[in-house]
Every structure is written in C-alpha cells, then in structure tokens.
Amino acid sequence: MSMSLCYSRVLIKISGEALAGDKKTGFDFDFVSSVCESVKKCLEEGAQVGIVIGGGNFWRGVKDGAGKVERVSADRMGMLATAMNCLAVADVFRQTGVDARVMTAVDIQGVGERHDVKNAIRYMENGSVVLFGCGTGHPFFSTDTAAVLRAAEIGADAILLAKNIDGVYTADPRQDPTAVKLDEISYNEVLARRLQVMDSTATSLAMDNNLPVIVFAIAEPENILRVMKGGKAGTLVH
C-alpha cells in the first residue's frame, strides 16, 4: 500500500440515486465515469476496493412498493435493481482499464458470480474492484446493512459512505436551517439521536465490528481519494 493512504482495503457504499445525477432515474454516465476514475486512482496507490451500490435510481424497495407490492417482493425488486447497477458500473470500470467483478448475493446465472468471501478477497488482492450486488440476499435488510456486512466479511479498514449530502448533521439540513455539520460522532450518539446516517441495523453492525464509517458527498467524486488519504471530507462515525 502507498504510504499516502490511510486505509488499505475499503468498502465504498454508493446510493443508486447518486448514479442518476440530476436525472433522478437511470444513469448519468459522465458522473459514473468520474467516480470510476477516482476509484482507479485509489487502486493505483495500492488500495483494495469493494463496492456496494443501492438501487434507488430504479426501485427503492418498500418505499416504492408501499401499499401496492408486498414487502418481500418489493425488497427483492430492489435487489435486482442493485444488480443492474453493478453490471453498468463494472462495464464503466473496464472502459477505464480497471478489472471489475460482479458478485451477487443470490444466484443469477450469467449476471454475476455467486458471492464468496475468499474469492472476493482474492480478486481485490489481484487489483480488481469487486461489486457486491443484491444486498444481503434477504428482504428486510437495506443495502447499508449489506455494505457493513460485506465490509466485515472482507476485513475492510473502513466504510466510505458516499451520499448526496456532505456529512452528518445535528438534524436534517433540508428541514432545519440551524443544523450543524459534525466532523465526527460516535455510533452510540447516532443511534441515540436517531440521525439518518444509516439505518439502525447497519449502524449497530458497524459498531459491533468496530468499523469506522466516513460519510461524504459523492457529488465530488475526488472526495473518494481525499478520504483515502485522510483529507478533510465529510464526517467520521466511530
């Protein structure tokens, strides 16, 4: 690993909505390319990277299916949306000269390899990006929880939570103009104050496994490399 990096192996969680950019649905491929280029720079510094992508640019699970689609079906539709995102982002990575592997938590022949921790680590050690699709493979668990689970499985040093907001605030800044951005915060405080960093299951899992989470704005993709180098970007949850 390069001496300039603070983390040697990370799990990056990217929301599906972020991939859509201003269009809100589908893909903004210029933006996706810039994210892939930033990750490529991390790889060139010697980092090992796994990625979990949400599915919100296509389907947000129970949020989109509420009252219309039964919860289990709605969540499974969300899992399939994440697989679509993994395929698209993997292709963009390959176009930038980075080998990318798609692993899925459920069997989808021809789409991705069935998730296997040892194979995932081997791919990352050989310089490939591994995209983990289909969440945990189970309904009732968010892609945030999937990100923490995969991070724990692969022995990641940290989780990079790339969001449409530039960190953790004392309240929702869109609703409360007095909300203050925090440089760092404990897991316990996040849970006690019910701050919407990740859902409570994901936050508890990160806390139990001592996985630091850095929340930052993906709107500036170069923040990925900045965080990897220990630069000021976002909020540290630990």
Q: What is the pLDDT of residues 74-97, one digit of tens each?
A: 999 999 999 999 999 999 999 999
Q: What is the pLDDT of residue 1?
A: 52
Q: Residue 212 is encoded by which pair of tokens?
A: 């630091």
Q: Are strands 168-169 and 181-182 parallel, antiparallel or unpaired?
A: antiparallel
Q: Summarize the confidence of residues 141-154 as an average pLDDT.
A: 97
**Is 234's pLDDT higher than 60?**
yes
Q: Tell me how far CA of residue 118 lies from CA of 9, 124, 155, in angstroms.
A: 14, 10, 11
Please state whether beta strands 9-14 and 48-53 pair in parallel, antiparallel, or not at all (unpaired): parallel
Contact yes or no for 223/216 (Cβ under 8 A): yes
CA angle at 159 for the pair 31 and 215, rounded to the nearest 5° = 65
pLDDT value of position 165: 85
Q: Give domain 9-237's CATH architecture.
A: 3-Layer(aba) Sandwich (3.40)
Note the pLDDT of residue 21. Answer: 85
More confident residue, 156 or 65: 156
Question: How far is 182 from 167, CA to CA, in rounded Å?
Answer: 7
Rounded to whole angstroms, what are the CA distances from 145 to 110, 112, 152, 178?
A: 25, 20, 11, 30
Can you tell me which residue has the tokens 């963009």?
Answer: 92
- Report the pLDDT averaged over residues 180-196: 91
The burial of 212, by beta-carbon neighbours within 10 Å (0-12 exposed, 13-18 middle, 19 or more buried), is given as middle
> What is the structure's pLDDT at 2?
54
Burial (0-12, 13-18, 19+ Cβ within 10 Å), 163 = buried
Rounded to whole angstroms, the Cα distance separating 76 from 82 reads 10
User: For the chain, which residues make up each domain, given as ranges?
Assistant: 9-237
Half-sphere exposure of 40 (CA within 13 A, CB side): 17
The separation between CA 98 and the C-alpha centre of its own chain, rounded to angstroms, equals 18
Segment 110-116 mean pLDDT: 95
Band of residue 188 on the pLDDT scale cut at 50, 70, 90: very high
| Model pTM score | 0.95
Q: Which amino acid is at 28?
A: D
Neighbours of 64 (CB within 10 A): 16
